[in-house]
Amino acid sequence: MSFKKSKNDYALFTWNNGASFISLIIYRDDILITGNDERAIVALKEHLNKSFHIKDLGTPKFFLGIDIARSPTSISLSQRKYALELIFDFGLSTCKPSVVPIEQNIEVTIIEHETERQSPEEDPPLQDHTSYQRLVGHLIYLTMTQSDISYAVQILNQFMQAPKQSHMDAAIKVVKYLKGCPGVGLLLPQKGKMEISAYCDSDWGSCPMTRRSLTGFCIKLGSSLISWKAKKQATVSLSSTEAEYRVMANTTCEII
């Protein structure tokens, strides 16, 4: 049917015919279809039904852990149910919420624990690595709609192989932060300028162990946030200017 596969996400297919547009994304045996041409969408579903039996579940309200809420003027995406289940699973339903997901100097503190080789009594290694890995895995999935925890999660993700108690405490603090705002997500307005704008910044040599800089960017379509990232750069930058150029290059690649 002349659909084109996205180069950014191989599960996404798009179709254009003049002013008509259809977007189709696949996850295993689940399919989401959206577009601005109702007749073309009906024809697509009839074509799919001829190839294999499909069940039309109507307007989506929940998909892969993401709550989808609609209003006449916008669509809201959040992972409230997923976040609440995470809070319950780790026994933090009655805890006091944290105001911030991570302390300002937590990265330096955690890495100093590593370099100073503290005794096991001061910062014991976790006996069960899987609990920490499972928690961080859940938090990584939550960054799909909660960009405000991206920085904290990229720090915690660096200690998946040999986590210590300080790493687990920092991860629990992120969960406590989620308890105060489990429904925070993305708001996609129906109307607005279809213009892409991007913001980027770098933190030069922020990692005390590797001296690699941190890349951070966010990209908006109109007033809708559509892409963001907080990640250590692949190589060491010799100056703050070089670090800034690297993050600008990464942001440009993401826009393209």
What pLDDT does residue 198 have? 96
67, two tokens: 């709550």
Overall pTM surpassing 0.95 (yes/no): no
d(CA 83, CA 60): 19
What pLDDT does residue 174 have? 93
What pLDDT does residue 32 have? 94
pLDDT > 70 fraction of the chain, expressed in percent and rounded: 93
Classify residue 62 as exposed, middle or buried by CB count within 10 Å of its CB (0-12, 13-18, 19+): exposed
What pLDDT does residue 205 have? 84
Q: Which residues of the chain have pLDDT under 70?
A: 105-121
